[in-house]
Structure 1
Amino acid sequence: MAVDLQRQPAHAHDARVLVTIPSFALQGIDAVRCDVEVSLQSRGLPRICLVGLPDLAIRESIERVRSAMAASGFDPPRHRTTISLAPADLRKHGPAFDLPIAVGLLLAAPPEDGTGTGRGAGREAVGRRPAGGAPPDPARWMLAGELGLDGSIRAVRGAVAMAMLARRLGVAGIVLPAGNAQEAAVVEGLDVRLARSLPEVVGFFRGAAVLDRAPAVDVRAMVAAAGAAIDFREVRGQGAAKRALAIAAAGGHNALLVGPAGCGKTMMARALPGIMPPLEPDEALEVTRIRSVAGTSAAGLAVERPFRAPHHTASTVALVGGGASGVPRPGEVTLAHHGVLFMDELPEFGRSALEALREPLEDGFVTVARAHGSARFPARSILVAAMNPTARGNRREGARGAREQSDYMDRVSGPIIDRIDLHVEVRAVPFGRLSSAPAGESSDDLRARVVAARAVQRARQGPVLNAHLRGRALDDAVALDAPSRALLGEAMEGLGLSARAYDKVRRVARTIADLAGSARVGAEHVAEAVQYRLLDRARECA
């Protein structure tokens, strides 16, 4: 709903001016339109009233705006002023409304008022001047930015989400702090202008200055240029674990590595993003948007698969999202979206934090509920968990060692273990293997096989990976013959597998067949998949 600049004389002695500046508010990782409406009335004492469910940071913006206007040479408003953040029933948070509020105040002030025409007000024309023509219509441009007390403009969270909203609404363009330029420029088909100071922006809308455009970004070229940080060939030995992680990458499966300290679990987990397919352009944009909302974005587009490794002391809020600010922020499971979430020392995480992973591991998203509403964050990543066999780091021989291992594993609940597809035992590497030259497949070789397996999945079932198949789609993809069904039935009885674990085995078997180039899932694929239920076997023996 675009509202043009209006002057509405309600009465000869009660002139009113209304200006609307589009901006945005964050809900989860999405932006929603929020208009800043500025109304000036000639009657009444000079004061500013801010309405529309603003938080403390927005209420404080009035003081920042006053100081920025004074430092930029603009006189303060001399009217009774009402600023409304619409829609009124949506809570707004953060300092991003500073810039649209200030611009609305200055554009609403009539020339005879003196606001914006005081000492030094000509500074808005500093820089290149436009060639001519009508000034831009502020009602068709979306603005956001935090004001410094000197009139400078600081970067804000959620610039990518704002840019995607602006493109969807079809506005003329957006004006953002120069610090947000690279991340906002990844949204194609949008006029992104860079704001460095309040006078520049006011001059732009008065037709007295030109704002620089953000440089264009070639998303596909940047993603294609990304490379692996750690090569799997650098990991000595561990052929079985490498095989399991290749299966995880091909089918999107979660994996648990169990082994003594120093056997290479962390190194292999860090190498995993390098064998996953490159990010698709829409995936890269979504990862960039998540980082922008979280305030963790590096310069420009995210071109590599995310890798997140929270410490085992991380709280539930840190893992799944939330916070006390009123606006739920994404947690580690969301920051790892389209990438890898590595949880080292899994049993050392708090029980409540681990149990909070049930929803994201099963459904690929997490819902954070608060008193004033809820936010839903995407959380579709590959979980790679690692743990020692016992709290002391390695396992002793005999009954005592078995009891220590069982007690340590019991710190992780059965439902969480059930949600992990691949349980892999990682053994210590002998000295002779450590001192030998690197051998085995490189990350490039493994990635080629993973990409081929994912292409088979896409041709068979669309964009859904094997790990996420359910119901009829899973039955259609995994049509077992009689020997395969018999083998899986024996495993169910012998290991006491749950219904969820049964489906996990079928999904993993399907991925193993895809890596082998087999259209059918045979007994050999099921047998290998059953071998990856290590902790089911351990619990059954205990």
Structure 2
Amino acid sequence: MTLALIKSRALAGMDAPEVTVEVHLGSGLPCVSLVGLPDTEVKEARDRVRAALATCQFEFPNRRITVNLAPADLPKESGRFDLPIAVGILAASDQVKNAQLADYEMVGELSLSGELRPVRGALAMAWRAARSGRRLILPADNAAEAALVKNVQILPARSLLEVVAHLNGLSELRAFSAAAQGCEPHYPDLADVRGQAPARRMLEVAAAGMHSALLYGPPGTGKSMLASRLPGLLPLLDEEQALEAAALQSLDGPFDTARWRQRPFRAPHHSASPAALSGGGANPRPGEISLAHHGVLFLDELPEFDRRVLETLREPLETGHITISRAAQRVDFPARFQLIAAMNPCPCGYLGHPQRACRCTPDQIARYLGKLSGPLLDRIDLTLEVGALDAASLQHAPAGETTAAVRQRVIAAHARQHARQGCSNAHLDSAGVMHHCVADERALKLLAQATDKLGLSARAYHRCLKVARTIADLADAPQIGAPHLAEALQYRRALSAR
């Protein structure tokens, strides 16, 4: 046998297209030739595979070896093709039984000793392998995350020797079964926040409708603390959402199964680049907005971010996905995240503080706030000032409601929205707003007056209606009333005043 075919998987965004590793032994000067758009990491497999085979005391064929990674027009990256290349060489040289290979898919990076190292994207590859009906051989360290996918048989291995022994019938790789994932995710408790009743209310509204929010105020008032409590208020991810979120995170590295069904909470530093936030690279990887899919993206010190970075948020906030285009490929990543941001009112942080004087000049304040463009602010549904608390409030403020108590109201509001329209209020399109966000006469009159006075755009008009619909859902009201709309306008009024 001089030709062997091994099935494997590449990564192209969220997709894991099938790759056939074709190994041919021919006549000519002994060498290993890799073709099929391999990048540098894949080309280095020649040396890793040769050393691993020698260490494991297999015979390395003294012939011309051609390895083709098909399809040829799909870019290949990382060391995940080491294992299929090694097994293909052994099968082509009759050191592995070739008859069984069509039943398997293989991924894994080889060390020089023949040990299998974990690869990124195992969950995404298992997701696609489930459709093929083949069994998936992969490094043992990736088994737990890959086994989160149902209807696929995962065969974890620790070394090349274990894989070859299994294929030759000398021993058997045991199928990995995931432990029951029934544990309740742990989140920080909202009861830890003292005072700040308006901010707690705003957080509840944001969670109930999946709305974007901005908290501004002096340093140390609890803005970051409040933001970190938002994921705990949201309903648990369902199976499909959890798999989608976990598959995206596995593209960035091995997924921690302890975070299964937990809402992602991403908090990038303000020095992040546009590519870090939106995704990118020669072989595009997901950025923070995609890693926060079905979860929360928290941007602390919002005006400290580069303006170009912030502008990349505009389209994903509307569409829920991002397209990254490169010369060689075009990749779509989902990005249905909930944005919550925090900022100081000025560079020194004490503008309007009751006890501390602001040291900033008007020009400095204008430049600081000027980093936030009108189109970006127009896409933020809720804005609230988080004021400083005095010592008496900190010492004697009663404990607020727990996360569990607030989440019950949020879950009930989500249930009403999905029963009515099949999605959260924040995700309604224009037609959905007109159909489902029905307001009474007093509320419509109030909204018309506010639109003229505040100069609201058409987008802001619709977003006010969506927020009011969420507030009505929390109150179990069938129609938007003037009190619901008045509360929604308070959040928009604070935004318009910045």
TM-score of Structure 1 vs Structure 2, range by shorter chain: over 0.9
Higher mean displacement: 361-370 or 394-403: 394-403
C-alpha distance in 2 between matches for 1:19 and 1:62: 17
Contact 1:146-1:155 at 8 Å conserved across structures:
yes
Aligned pairs (5 A) from 1:69-468: 69-110=53-94, 137-171=100-134, 173-219=135-181, 221-222=182-183, 225-228=184-187, 230-295=188-253, 297-299=255-257, 302-323=260-281, 326-396=282-352, 403=362, 405-436=365-396, 438-462=398-422, 464-468=423-427
User: Does structure 1 residue 33 correspond to structure 2 residue 3?
Assistant: no
- SS at the partner of 1:532? helix
Higher mean displacement: 404-413 or 144-153: 404-413
Contact 1:136-1:204 at 8 Å conserved across structures:
no
Instruction: Quickly say closer, same or farther: Cα 1:67–1:33, change in 2 above 3 A.
Output: same
Of 505, 518, 521, 2:480 maps to: 521
Contact 1:158-1:292 at 8 Å conserved across structures:
yes
Q: How many pairs are equivalent? A: 494
Contact 1:144-1:177 at 8 Å conserved across structures:
yes
C-alpha distance in 2 between matches for 1:335 and 1:528: 32
Instruction: Quickly say closer, same or farther: Cα 1:329–1:350, change in 2 above 3 A.
Output: same
Contact 1:135-1:204 at 8 Å conserved across structures:
no
Gaps of 5+ in 2: none
Instruction: Quickly say closer, same or farther: Cα 1:396–1:421, change in 2 above 3 A.
Output: closer
C-alpha distance in 1 between matches for 2:352 and 2:217: 13
Which residue is 2:6 aligned to?
Answer: 21
* 1:479-500: CA deviation from partner (whole Å, max 9, x where unpaired): 2222111111111110011111
Aligned pairs (5 A) from 1:58-73: 58-73=42-57
- SS at the partner of 2:396? coil
TM-score, normalisation: structure 2: 0.95
Displacement of 1:432 in angstroms is 1.1
Gaps of 5+ in 1: 1-6, 8-16, 117-133
- SS at the partner of 1:85? strand
Which residue is 1:487 aligned to?
Answer: 446
C-alpha distance in 2 between matches for 1:201 and 1:236: 57
* 1:485-535: CA deviation from partner (whole Å, max 9, x where unpaired): 111111111001111111110110110000010111111111111100144
* 1:294-344: CA deviation from partner (whole Å, max 9, x where unpaired): 115224552311111111111111111112xx2111111111111111101
Contact 2:19-2:70 at 8 Å conserved across structures:
yes
Contact 2:382-2:495 at 8 Å conserved across structures:
no
Q: Give the counterpart letter for 1:258 in structure 2.
A: Y
Q: Give the counterpart letter for 1:279 in structure 2.
A: L
Displacement of 1:215 in angstroms is 2.6
Of 27, 42, 49, 2:33 maps to: 49
* 1:392-425: CA deviation from partner (whole Å, max 9, x where unpaired): 1111489998946555322200011011000111
C-alpha distance in 1 between matches for 2:125 and 2:244: 13
C-alpha distance in 1 between matches for 2:189 and 2:29: 70
Q: Give the counterpart letter for 1:444 in structure 2.
A: A
C-alpha distance in 2 between matches for 1:296 and 1:356: 27
- SS at the partner of 2:463? helix
TM-score, normalisation: structure 1: 0.88
Which residue is 1:119 aligned to?
Answer: none
C-alpha distance in 2 between matches for 1:301 and 1:185: 14
Contact 1:186-1:217 at 8 Å conserved across structures:
no
* 1:62-95: CA deviation from partner (whole Å, max 9, x where unpaired): 1100000000001111232211101011111110
Q: Based on CA coordinates, which of the two structures has the bigger radius of gyration?
A: 1
Between the aligned residues of both structures, percent identity stands at 49
Higher mean displacement: 96-105 or 137-146: 137-146
Displacement of 1:45 in angstroms is 2.8
Displacement of 1:436 in angstroms is 2.1
- SS at the partner of 1:433? helix
Displacement of 1:227 in angstroms is 2.8
